[in-house]
Structure 1
Amino acid sequence: MDDQPFSLLKNLAKAETNDSKRTDGKLSFVSAMDTLNIHSVFDIVRRSKAGFVRDLSSISDADGALAYENARCYATQIVRLYRNQLVSSGRNQQLTKRTGVRSLVDIGPSFPNLFKENWDLFCKVGAIEAKDSPVAYLTSLYRFAREELEGSSAETNRITLDDRRPDLKNLIIDQQSTFTPIPTLQIVNQVLSDAIHAYTDTVSASRGKSIYQLVAEKHHPFLFPYNFHYQQIRLGLAGKKPVLGELSYRMSLETPATSPATRAYGKVQNSSVVAQVMMSGLGPEQQKILLEPALPAESESHRAHMNAEESDPISQFFKLKYDVDYATGMNNPLNSLKVFVEQTGLDSDEVETLLAVGSHTPYASPNILPDAMTGGSSRYGASYVNGLDAQESMSLGSDAQGARQLLNTSVDRFDRLQRMIRLQRWMGIPFSDLDTLIMAVIHSEGVANSKAVLTTNTLRALGVWRYLNARYGLAADEFSTFIHHMAGEANDGRLPLFDRVFNSPLLYDAPVVMDGVTPIYPSGTNQALTVRAQLSAALTLPDANEGLLLLLEDIILLSNEPLSSFFLMPSMMSSLYRQARIASLFGLTVKDSRALIDLLGGEVYRNQVVNGELTKTPDAANGEPDVLDILMQLDWATTWLKETGQDIATLRRQLGVEAVENAVTQEVADLLDQLALDAQASALTQEQLVSLNMPTKDDGNNPIDWWSVVLAPLIGAHGLVTAQPLDQDADTSIGETIRAQLIPLELSEEIKVSLAASLEAFVLKGYLTQHRLMEGLLQSVASLPMDRCEPVMRWAGSSVDQFLGSVLDDVDARQSGSSTSDNVTEKLMKLTRYAGVNQQLGLTAQALRIFLAHPHWLHAGLAETLPLSLNSLYLLDRYRHWRDRCGHPEALLLDYLRRANNNAAVEQCAALLALLIGWSSSEVQSASTLLATRSGVAMSTHEVDWLSRMHSVSETTGLTARQLLDATGLMPVSAADKWKTVGEAIMSSSR
């Protein structure tokens, strides 16, 4: 710099010696510029004034402020001179060119001639290189932050822009990076991910793991673990879409109708237990934390690892779950309330709620005497966290220095506390309600859960409650009564559930008191009558056979409690409330609720509801249904009944479950009497056959017995024509039978043809006449169309010849004085019942004939006959729904079933079915891979209904068939890649 003939830098500060070796340890101005890597005035003005003065003053005595002002002045002048001396690039401007005669004349003064601008220095409006573009603005901000703000002082604790956004300095400025919008969250995630990776690369245990894997494995703070792909699924299925688990119920291969009294409802690839657990809204890592084995005893664990190199599992637990170093006894840092709230994220009031102490201390109902208490010795609201330890319940106190402490803690209790805190946050319900629900499950499991730990049943209960709460608004303490006893305690100023149900409002002079001695049944004393009246009013039940007494009789018949419990005891009161609340939950009367439960599973189901027990082996492959399964099946049944407009009483009568008196009016009796006369007149006789002049011998002179031999397969007792196959026309089947009977006769073919025609006309006339009689009767009695008479009778297990034969037998019996016509009446009532079902379903004669001939076309389990059961009734209803909604002729639907069951090509079946259910052929094929009867082809109405329900779910969620199967196939132990696949698919469908 000293060799320069003229240097602006030398003139910036006051004159000084050029000697750079100063005795005071300071540098000259010029040397200081070298040290600061400043080589021109522009290097100075690029810095902030304060930063330049500060940096210069630390190494030189030169006047930094004066130097900065002089540098800014010089820089301004240089820029101005540069602009004034700009010359044109010399490139000819297209606008100045002229042609023809005008090109011979000077243009004269013009802007291009006077001001020869260098257009290469200009840009279009809106270009990223423009001085007023967003890039220029952001660049100025970046420079301002780096030079003015960060360079204004030398504070060491300042967080610089490079620390906040280390990616900015490497950001390439182009059209895409400038104008492509990027969500702020994406930027934040990227910056944090880079910082996390920079840290994890220094930790051997975390090196090479993705961010998603790291946050899923982390257990502290309590907002972890965080499964990104599970959260994608939850967000994508939020709102009115079915959540995980509920998807399995919507797409269940079986329904409570097609597989009654089993746990098949809710199963797609996995069992209904998995579906119920998934409905809890808990991710795989969260479930793993809740179901982890309990810690070993403190003393045993410490002794076992005292001299071992591996870490004590208790120490590992406290480090992993609470991020504290474990110390035994009172030295445990978590005993300090201050440390506990810091490590758990709770405040002091939430800790009191967790422990049910202080202002959240529970209180018992004044209307429950000590001998009949429901909670036992455990503390309401904190029973689970206190566990089975013999020591007193946990509480809060102070040490000698006045610091707040957790008292009566233990390793097991700290384990329970962290599970409870996490679960409460994940479920979003008060600690007291959550504790009530958990303890209800534990008590219901009994000796199978002697250690009072969280189990699969706990997660099942949470899942079913969450579903019912979202659908019906069912409270947690009400749901808890479904699986155990009613709570008689409360806190936070609330009434105990017992008082809310039975004493709010108070309808009588005295409240209902659970004293354990007041009888309810069967005593007829005034006291018992008063109590029953109070209970009926509280449960909004009529004190009649379909009300409280109906519930009491079920309890007496099915309860696991001894006879001495039929007093005002917890088991009795809870059972009454359970049955009544389940009925009201689904909008049913107690009588209808009991009838529906009986229809779904018989006495076994009624027993489950009366006692409210959970299965002891929820993971068993073929376990028996428990009250949780029954609740989900009741939800399905009531939904189906509402959709079809049916009521339970009618349904039971149609299925023949409900006994109906055979009350026959005089009009019907007269019709039966007339039918007997007409049947006698229509019966075929040998005399009528003789009038046909049939030959008595064949060509071999062998006698021919036309009545007893040739026509024996067609004409039965009383001269009634026997029933013909449903899959053939009557004239065809009769003709084939007659021709087959004529084969052994030694007659010429011409004669056989003539005789066959005469016999066919003779038998067919009798057949049609007799059928007209029954068609008229059923049309009069049941308004049944005539073409459906034969299939309905066959469906009912009868036929025209059988019924008319019974009528004629009854006539003969009455003539002998030994009949009362009850048999005929019962058969007619049965026919009327089947006819009513057919009318309700709107089945055509063609469809009913086909399903009677091929019942497996309705359901693979109906191999031989088509009974009138809940299964067949439901599937026939689904067939009607399919027929009415598809918009195609019924013949096309039946043709599909024929093709599918006759081994037509998979692609052909898929294309036809796709047309009939409004889905694509590829989706039908993809979904049908799960079908077991014939892979890739729906062979029955049952399987078509499943595909239709799956199509409906696909439209609701926006997911393809393959994606839906992937979603319902998820389990807590599924690989991370499967969760990722489903999560990304759901998020894509939500856009």
Structure 2
Amino acid sequence: MTTGAPDMTEQPFSLLRNLARTGNDTHEHGDDTLSFINAMEKLNIHSVFDIVRRSKSAFVHELSRISDADAALAYENARCYATQIVRLYRNQLLSSGRTQQLTRRTGVRSLVDIGPGFPNLFKENWDLFCKVGAIEAKDSPVAYLTSLYRFAMEQLEGSVAEPSRIKLDERRPDLKDLLIDQQSTFTPVPTLHIVNQVLSKAINAYVDTVPEDKGKTIYQLVAEKQHPFQFPYNFHFQQITLGLTGKKPMLGELSYHVSLEVPATSTPTDEFGKVQQSSAIAQALMSGLSPEQQAIVLEPALTTQPEVIIPFFKTKYNIAYSDDASNPRNSLDTFMAKTELDSDAVEALLAMGGHTPYPSPNIQSAGQIAGGKPSHDEGAAAIVSRFGAGYVNGTAADPAMGLRKDIDGVVYLTNTSVDRFDRLQRMIRLQRWTGISFTALDTLVMAVIRSEGAVNPQMVLTVNTLRALGTYRYLNKRYGLAPDEFAAFVHQMPGEANDGRLPMFDRVFNNPALFDTPLVLDGSILDLDQDSSEHVKARAQLSRALHLSSTHEGLRQLAIDVRELIGNAPTDFRLNVSMISSLYRQARIASMFGLTTAQCRALIDLLGSLSFRKKVVSGQLDDTEPDVLDILMQLDWAVTWLEASDRDVTTLRRQAGWDMTETIVTQELTVQLEQLTNDARLAVVNSDQLASLDLPSKDDQNNTINWWLILSYLIDESGLVRTQPLHEEPAVSIRRTLHERLSAIAIAEPLASEVEARLATFVLNGYRNQHRLVEELLLTLTGLPPDRCEPVIRWAGSDVSKFLVALLWDHGVIETLSTLIRYSEVSQQLGLSARALRTFLINPRWLYAGSEGPFSLSPNSLYLLDRYSNWRDNCGYPEEALLEYFKQANDPQRDATQCAARLASLTGWTSSEVLAANALLTGSDRIASNMHEVDWLSRMHSASDVTGLSARQLLSATDLTATSTASHWKSVGEAVIAANR
């Protein structure tokens, strides 16, 4: 028995031998040619079907390389044989082989199955058929794939031997091992998954040959690699970035959404944006840079040691460093190849050629500096040389980098250094990561560096750079802020430009030209009050450009702030870049948030008083305390909350007591107060009324009873009933006090009880009559329901007796009335019930844990009461359920699980999520027990709904930093992707 391919020499009836005889196979063969039969063996052809599977041109080409037989004739004969064989096979397969009778049968005989018919003529083998769409069908994807695979292997790869050809087995070594079944055939698989799978196998095979990378995952490798400039690539960071797009808060922004403190509860600090990590980390994460990218940005500046420089160029540029004439790093072609920049991008990077900057003709050298006197190194030429390429040129006194062509036409970078190559690679990477043009990015980066001042003399990228990029990215996404506009927020507006654009100064102040001469910055003093034409015109130009009025609330107020706050001491207002930029900064911030400059100034005061206003005026960055970046984020929050709560800045300041507005005393109000005064005199209780009670004058021991002295604990010397505790009804507290006082008097029953009842009725009637006067007044003036009168007055820090005393003695009654009206207005606006007011007055820590003593109207209490009102209106439960929850949560014998279940039902969340979030909030078995904490849980719930992340996953995301472990990033990335499915 023999095995393997058939031996054509032992098969006399082989079609291939017969086919060969038809060819020209009679002449002698040379040393380099084969006979037809031997050629077929070499080509691994064993039948005529192997020949016809190839195209005629491919067969002729292959055979002619190794044999001089007539390949075309042999191919045609093979096709004829193959056609005949197929036909014979089909005939034998389908025909029954039985001769059919030609006579027609009639009657019953015609019903017998012996006549001609399809089943009798054709004996189909139904086992050879399949269902439509089956994988074994001739038109199935499997048949198509098999045909393609055979075509690639036999005709494409087997046709011509080319050493440079990459064969299919090298490209897709997995194909030959693929299992073809129903699942693998019809289950859709993303192309990217296949690509990743194939590349992963190839990369893993390569990594195993590199000792220092052996054992590392692909994700580790691409995260550590730094060249080409597409790297480093953090897969899990990319998952988070892509998962938190659209209307979802991005990484870092998420921390602001679920910040433990908001500006209203933490002014004036930088606590807003902090969950587990500081707000500075949240701002850096908003930059959109991965941990590895942040590490590159913040790497220390290079030293001059060779052991540092050599690996730097190898890692960053993939260049072998050499400090001689053969060093390729200065070659423009090499630089472009390694950085993947084109020539125009290189010119933009170096701010030269078509991107050469030019100064504004309207900024003189004296207007460049604060003092108004130009220095030797602050001329226009020096400033222009830095615009657009300030960071990459660094602090060196050497000329700026440029390009030079040698005699051979080779272009080189000039004035380079190791430090400048380091700056170049950082700037190129930043540009690619942020998508900001080189000019705009350099403007922004240099604004940050100059804003840092003396703390950054080496002009390096710092954490403030990342904070600024993150804050800019957020404001750009939300308000469409441009990079140069943001640069003016932290330093000065640029007075230079390139690419045919107007310098920003001229774009803002001199375009379009509405005056006969443009505004020129020459360092001269601008008098805010002088009426000379020169000063009036300059003020008009500034007002028109910044869309301000020339009144006190417009340009004048901003200019006063600039001259008073921009430096360490008040100074004159001068027409220079620094002061004009400060004006622009304040006006642009206001317009960005949809506020007037007066409103924006008032809101900044509310958030942080004078210190915040000074930081906005100067724009200086400081990572040790709140700076302009923190203030911008707080302003964004404040504007959003004001819009949601249907308030404006003026109303907020007035309600919070920052702007005290006295009640206008109209004639009608005067008449009301006069009538109220007369009624109050009639409502006071006196000795005559007491005498009418017919009380005993002596006790059982014949001691004289001074009833008025006994009642002094309830009635003051003016005859006004003293205020009663809020936690008791007046009738109860009055009766209790009387019982305590009368217990010391020797009066037997039943007279003692009768006396107590008479006195209680007497005092309670006086209490009600006096309160009714104030209730009617507030109802008339503000519409405040009578049941809320007492808690509102107490909330305002007063009581009915104090108000009536002020009324009777005409001592500050209008001021007291203004305060009562203000508190009544807030109570009405928020719809606060009498029970809610009493609850929070008795237990101010149920509103905010940091409360000490009675709470008054402030941004803090206004915000928390507003959140309480919103919770009450949207939870779907009666208000009593909310107040009962606070009572339960503050009970020392509380059960955390029961509290979590009740709070979950009140917030529409689940108890497990409440417990998970609460772990960070309290760090103990205590569940959120005040409105401040409930508000945080509500914001967590909202963020969970928007992102699809659970509470635990949200807290894991807000805990991320650039130094977090890879497993931490992986868990958050997988959670974000899972939430998007």
TM-score (norm 2): 0.92
Which of 313, 320, 339 matches 2:315? 320
Counterpart Cα distance in 2 of 1:439 and 1:607: 22
Kept after mapping to 2: 8 A contact 1:88/1:118: no
Does residue 108 of structure 1 match 2:114?
yes
Does residue 543 of structure 1 match 2:538?
no
How far 1:592 sits from its partner (Å)? 1.3
Which residue does 2:375 correspond to in 1?
none
Which residue does 2:968 correspond to in 1?
978
Counterpart Cα distance in 2 of 1:479 and 1:869: 32
Counterpart Cα distance in 2 of 1:551 and 1:498: 18
Q: Secondary structure at the match of 2:515?
A: coil
Which residue does 1:922 correspond to in 2?
912
Task: Give the stretch that moved more between structures: 499-508 or 442-451.
Answer: 499-508
Kept after mapping to 2: 8 A contact 1:486/1:497: yes
How far 1:52 sits from its partner (Å)? 5.2
Which of 847, 860, 871 matches 2:860? 871
Q: How does 1:750-899 map to 2 (within 5 A)?
A: 750-808=750-808, 810=809, 821-899=810-888
CA gap of 1:423–1:802, structure 2 versus 1, over 3 A, is same
Which residue does 2:739 correspond to in 1?
739
Q: How does 1:246-285 map to 2 (within 5 A)?
A: 246-285=253-292
Between the aligned residues of both structures, percent identity stands at 60
How far 1:873 sits from its partner (Å)? 0.9
Kept after mapping to 1: 8 A contact 2:563/2:572: no
How far 1:924 sits from its partner (Å)? 2.6
How far 1:933 sits from its partner (Å)? 7.6
Kept after mapping to 2: 8 A contact 1:520/1:531: no
Q: How does 1:685-700 map to 2 (within 5 A)?
A: 685-699=686-700
CA gap of 1:980–1:936, structure 2 versus 1, over 3 A, is farther
How far 1:983 sits from its partner (Å)? 1.9
How far 1:129 sits from its partner (Å)? 0.7
Q: How does 1:616-631 map to 2 (within 5 A)?
A: 618=623, 623-631=624-632
Q: Secondary structure at the match of 1:931?
A: helix
Which residue does 2:653 correspond to in 1?
652
Kept after mapping to 2: 8 A contact 1:48/1:151: no
Counterpart Cα distance in 1 of 2:756 and 2:671: 39
Does residue 241 of structure 1 match 2:236?
no
Kept after mapping to 2: 8 A contact 1:384/1:416: yes
Counterpart Cα distance in 1 of 2:653 and 2:36: 106
Does residue 966 of structure 1 match 2:956?
yes
Task: Read off the aligned partner of 2:839 and give its amino acid letter.
Answer: I
For structure 1, the 5+ residue unaligned runs are 90-101, 303-311, 811-820
Kept after mapping to 2: 8 A contact 1:263/1:625: yes
Counterpart Cα distance in 2 of 1:33 and 1:348: 57
How far 1:954 sits from its partner (Å)? 2.4
How far 1:59 sits from its partner (Å)? 5.5
Counterpart Cα distance in 1 of 2:769 and 2:275: 52
Which residue does 2:105 correspond to in 1?
none
How far 1:477 sits from its partner (Å)? 1.0
Does residue 588 of structure 1 match 2:595?
yes
Q: Secondary structure at the match of 2:894?
A: coil
Which of 152, 161, 165 matches 2:168? 161
CA gap of 1:356–1:362, structure 2 versus 1, over 3 A, is same
CA gap of 1:397–1:22, structure 2 versus 1, over 3 A, is closer
CA gap of 1:476–1:35, structure 2 versus 1, over 3 A, is closer
CA gap of 1:689–1:279, structure 2 versus 1, over 3 A, is same
Which residue does 1:428 correspond to in 2?
435
Which residue does 1:336 correspond to in 2?
331
Q: Secondary structure at the match of 1:487?
A: coil
Deviation per CA, 1:468-508: give whole Å up to 9, x if none. Answer: 11211211111111111221111111111111121112222
Does residue 135 of structure 1 match 2:135?
no
| Over 6 Å off, 4+ runs | 15-19
How far 1:111 sits from its partner (Å)? 4.1
Q: How many residues align?
A: 950
CA gap of 1:918–1:512, structure 2 versus 1, over 3 A, is same
Q: Secondary structure at the match of 1:718?
A: coil
Counterpart Cα distance in 2 of 1:337 and 1:46: 54
Which residue does 1:942 correspond to in 2?
932
Kept after mapping to 1: 8 A contact 2:256/2:272: yes
Counterpart Cα distance in 2 of 1:950 and 1:939: 16
Deviation per CA, 1:176-223: give whole Å up to 9, x if none. Answer: 111111222222222222222222222222222222222111111111
CA gap of 1:114–1:856, structure 2 versus 1, over 3 A, is same
Kept after mapping to 2: 8 A contact 1:13/1:63: no
Which residue does 1:96 correspond to in 2?
none
How far 1:613 sits from its partner (Å)? 0.8
Deviation per CA, 1:325-376: give whole Å up to 9, x if none. Answer: 1122554312111111111111111111110111111111101112333676
Kept after mapping to 1: 8 A contact 2:590/2:597: yes
Counterpart Cα distance in 2 of 1:18 and 1:258: 101
How far 1:557 sits from its partner (Å)? 2.4
Kept after mapping to 2: 8 A contact 1:806/1:824: yes
Task: Give the stretch that moved more between structures: 855-864 or 452-461.
Answer: 855-864
Which of 348, 352, 357 matches 1:362? 357
CA RMSD of aligned residues (A): 2.8
Kept after mapping to 1: 8 A contact 2:662/2:815: no
CA gap of 1:495–1:769, structure 2 versus 1, over 3 A, is same
Kept after mapping to 2: 8 A contact 1:565/1:572: no
Kept after mapping to 2: 8 A contact 1:281/1:463: yes
Counterpart Cα distance in 1 of 2:789 and 2:299: 64
Q: Secondary structure at the match of 1:406?
A: strand
TM-score (norm 1): 0.91
Which residue does 1:307 correspond to in 2?
none
Task: Give the stretch that moved more between structures: 77-86 or 247-256.
Answer: 77-86
How far 1:272 sits from its partner (Å)? 0.9
Counterpart Cα distance in 1 of 2:146 and 2:775: 93
Which residue does 2:373 correspond to in 1?
none
Counterpart Cα distance in 1 of 2:610 and 2:534: 31
Does residue 442 of structure 1 match 2:437?
no
How far 1:990 sits from its partner (Å)? 2.2
How far 1:938 sits from its partner (Å)? 2.0
Which of 182, 198, 201 matches 1:175? 182
Counterpart Cα distance in 1 of 2:340 and 2:456: 30
Q: Secondary structure at the match of 2:413?
A: strand
Counterpart Cα distance in 1 of 2:86 and 2:437: 71
CA gap of 1:701–1:575, structure 2 versus 1, over 3 A, is same
Deviation per CA, 1:595-619: give whole Å up to 9, x if none. Answer: 111111001011101111110xx2x
Does residue 218 of structure 1 match 2:225?
yes
How far 1:8 sits from its partner (Å)? 3.5
Counterpart Cα distance in 1 of 2:286 and 2:159: 57
Q: How does 1:504-653 map to 2 (within 5 A)?
A: 504-521=511-528, 525-560=532-567, 566-615=573-622, 618=623, 623-653=624-654
How far 1:54 sits from its partner (Å)? 5.4
Counterpart Cα distance in 2 of 1:570 and 1:257: 34
Task: Give the stretch that moved more between structures: 687-696 or 470-479.
Answer: 687-696
Counterpart Cα distance in 2 of 1:952 and 1:718: 55
Task: Read off the aligned partner of 1:926 and give its amino acid letter.
Answer: A
Deviation per CA, 1:622-674: give whole Å up to 9, x if none. Answer: x4210111111111111211222222222222222114345423333333333
CA gap of 1:506–1:23, structure 2 versus 1, over 3 A, is closer
Kept after mapping to 1: 8 A contact 2:663/2:817: no
How far 1:256 sits from its partner (Å)? 0.7
Kept after mapping to 2: 8 A contact 1:10/1:30: yes
Q: How does 1:351-430 map to 2 (within 5 A)?
A: 351-373=346-368, 377-378=382-383, 379-430=386-437
Deviation per CA, 1:396-455: give whole Å up to 9, x if none. Answer: 111231211111011100110111011111111221111111111111111111110000
Q: Secondary structure at the match of 2:212?
A: coil
Deviation per CA, 1:779-814: give whole Å up to 9, x if none. Answer: 233332211111111011111112222333x1xxxx
Deviation per CA, 1:86-123: give whole Å up to 9, x if none. Answer: 4999xxxxxxxxxxxx99x9643454455443322222
Q: Secondary structure at the match of 2:412?
A: strand
Which residue does 1:306 correspond to in 2?
none
Counterpart Cα distance in 1 of 2:473 and 2:196: 32
Q: Secondary structure at the match of 2:784?
A: coil
